[in-house]
Structure 1
């Protein structure tokens, strides 16, 4: 395989592992709700759903290890606990969520079957792919991703060039930038980058790549290409949601997930006609499936590495992850998102600071900086999580209002940044 071909196959595979249920359903509704301010919500969404995840891939290119290497400068114990928590979250929330989305959008409207049947068949296929570990990268990059991208580009291109009614309605969202940042959280892509980056490295090793520098360049370039693809698709979907504001009526009584699905279905029907529903079903199923395969493979790879590269452990872990997917995948998509919110508020900040600390110069990101910044981020992440569970608590509410950005769930940002600056200054003074 030529270098250019391998680069694009790797980048496409990476794109497909990122692009799942939330990535497809979230952007159109953001554009629909922000209308004339779609550019602000796009900016916020890109920061948490594109920029930070791609930095995660760049960190993997530098480390070329596993998720364990992201946190080992804090301490080996911390890194091990962090890895286990992330992998448990991955197989209990984002992976089953892909099955729930596939059932609600692709399967049930067309066949009316039960969620149990859908999730069972879905994760049986996921297991089949995961057990054929060495072929995953090529199959996703050569076949599945091009099909996903072609359908998406067809919907976006036709939708953008169609004549649309001019909408003068002001945005119903008074802070679209913050909304975009928060919705980018819901894609799980920052955490996903830490998980699937390890999958990418092991896949390249299985293909015979031995040179550290060659892998570093390949992974970094693949990350930028995948990031550019995500940027184009997200922007297109957000603009489409804004453009169709005057043509598609989404009832206010609908829940969040029903609004997302109805809007996406309406856009597909308007752009591709009756065949648009079929294309949408295929698109959702493929986008969700590739993400579930990436997550399950990452989890199985990690536990395999813990037990001296035991293939038996890899198989057992993959089976357990798929069984959990079958059980949780029967739940309502919206319910899974609700459960995910407090978990994200606690875990996401730690994942983000670990990504940035592993990307910047290691002269600045010393073990002391890792420990101090992660500790401060942990404390404020816990504060945000407790504030979610106890929204009427006066003490928590007052405390969050005093902390800069605390009222919008980003209480950890400035304290973490300030801690990093103080540690760097302290180390230079010594």
Structure 2
């Protein structure tokens, strides 16, 4: 049986794995742009930034394997390719973004240095920690996350009760969809697939419980982590909306977060938050780089040189990409997210469902259909939008970048009806 203390510790550890300082800049921006429609964007944001990641943890509780196990029913080749794509995205987008967030929140407001200098020093530190595998990060994580939560909670509560009485009109035509798609940028669904596997490995090493005990522990920990994310995201979206009249129309994500901290906690609170955000970003970057390097090391029969080379290349990419503005990195991430997120969401849901309804053929058909109908969402960034108008008119929700949803559901139902009882569940 799992003790309450063990559940709380595991839940808090899981929350720490999800919680990245970069995610803090997204909800206030969303709330500010939503204005009076903040509740709708909150619901949409919850779906992709809280609910889907939570289901990812439930999937890990069910299969208790690694990221590779999420797609192995399709084929070993596809699963390997999927893992490569996931880690490639992680090391080229969210990892460099942590350096960019650090520069804009913790460096630029206080020092007149270039972003290239910041990203260079930043990823030199990441390189040293990733190569040496220092345990300092473990201690930083244990004490850093609670302090950040206290600071963010203070901003949320003070902000809600001291905000202006006026809320600006929203700029979104479809607030729910805007919130849902902005949730992609948290990378939380990807994080669920990655960190869930890390959690399973850790539990296998450190506990002697049964499969069922571990399943219950992971599930309860997922609930705790999900509630923590829900509180922070909802609170920051509300604050962005409640203080929306205080920001310019074109205010950036980091500007809004910095502004909220100043309005609520003053300059001292802002300075403190800057340092904590920088450290949180740093631990996130080290985790991504080391996790990716561990995966590559495994592909090359645990070759230590493969680990070192991957760390070096990851840090070089971090320097080159991390020097750009946060908004730019978010923009260039969109095509990759439109490509990988629908597949990831479908894989998470299929792994949560009863194996009776998720045979090999179901996995293959649903993922193929999902990929096919998400292609227009990916192509819109590379071809003229008018060329996709006909497709978007035919496919329901395609104009909202959700054209894959109904085909995925339809293919799941039809495939199960056609192949029901003809093949045992795997």
Residue aligning to 1:226: 225
In 1, are the aligned partners of 2:127 and 2:315 still within 8 Å (CA)? yes
1:413 matched to which residue of 2? 405
Deviates more, 1:79-88 or 1:325-334: 325-334
Alignment of 1:5-404 (within 5 A): 5-131=5-131, 135=135, 138-139=138-139, 142-162=142-162, 164-167=163-166, 169-207=168-206, 211-246=210-245, 248-250=246-248, 252=249, 254=250, 258-394=251-387, 396-404=388-396
Distance 2:136 2:351 in 1: 27
* Contact 1:137 1:203 (8 Å CA) reproduced: no
**1:140 Cα deviation (Å)?**
5.6
Q: What is the Cα deviation at residue 22 of structure 1? A: 4.1
Q: Given the superposition, is the C-alpha separation of residues 149 and 48 from structure 1 closer, same or farther in structure 2, using an over 3 Å criterion?
A: same
Using structure 2 for the length normalisation, give the TM-score.
0.92
Contact 2:144 2:276 in 1 (8 A): no
Structure 1 residues 137 and 193: CA distance shift in structure 2, 3 A: farther
Question: Number of paired residues?
Answer: 421
Question: In the alignment, is the contact (CA less than 8 A) between 1:27 and 1:234 conserved in 2?
Answer: yes
Kindly indicate whether the alpha-carbon contact (under 8 Å) linking 1:190 and 1:352 is maintained by their aligned counterparts in 2.
yes
Deviation at 1:324, TM superposition (A): 2.0
Q: Which moved more, 1:109-118 or 1:358-367?
A: 109-118
Counterpart contact for 1:18–1:192, Cα < 8 Å: yes
Distance 2:222 2:303 in 1: 29
Counterpart CA distance in 2 for 1:127 and 1:59 is: 32
SS in 2 for 1:331: coil
C-alpha contact (below 8 Å) 2:167/2:244 kept by paired residues = no
For residue 390 of structure 1, give the secondary structure of its aligned residue in structure 2: coil
1 CA distance for matches of 2:134 and 2:223? 24
Contact 2:55 2:348 in 1 (8 A): yes
C-alpha distance in 2, partners of 1:205/1:306? 21
Q: CA deviation at 1:428?
A: 2.2
- Residue 111 of structure 1: SS of its match in structure 2? coil
How much is the aligned-residue C-alpha RMSD, in angstroms?
A: 2.3
8 Å CA contact retained: 2:119, 2:322: yes
CA distance in 2, matches of 1:314, 1:412: 37
Stretch deviating more after TM superposition (412-421 or 133-142): 133-142
Deviation at 1:201, TM superposition (A): 2.6
* Structure 2 unpaired stretches of 5+: none
**Shift of residue 340 of structure 1?**
0.7
